[in-house]
Amino acid sequence: MPVAIFELPDGTEHTADVPEDWSLMEAARRDGLEGIVAECGGGAICGTCHVHVGEQWFDQIEPASPTEDALLEVVPERSPTSRLSCQVIMTPALDGIRVRVPAEQLSM
């Protein structure tokens, strides 16, 4: 099963097994990962599952939709590799993907 590595603001890492066709958000919620709130349950309307995708992985994921990109305009700590984890769908090619949970998101 593919894995995703979540880098947490305190410097620790969490490795999650992510079934193919699951979003990174689904795996993070299943594992109770702090900082991935996902208030909308994956509807891409709240921004509380924001992550920074590792640069080496960013070009391997599907581009953000215009709706996701507009929502990312208002999340704390946006970066050029920001994505909503509910919109990053695991494939075998993404095995080992690294994403960082923004510190600001922990206070949401």
What is the domain range of residue 82? Answer: 3-107
**What would the pLDDT profile of 27-86 be if each residue is shown by its tens digit?**
999 999 988 989 898 989 999 999 999 999 999 999 999 999 999 999 989 999 999 999
CATH of the domain at 79: 3.10.20.30
pLDDT bucket at 104, cuts 50 / 70 / 90: confident
60 CB-near residues (< 8 Å, 6+ apart): 93, 94, 97
- Which residue has 């922990």 as its token pair? 106
Number of domains in the chain: 1
pLDDT bucket at 12, cuts 50 / 70 / 90: very high
pLDDT at site 107: 56
Residue 103 near residue 9, CB atoms below 8 Å: yes
pTM score of the predicted model: 0.93
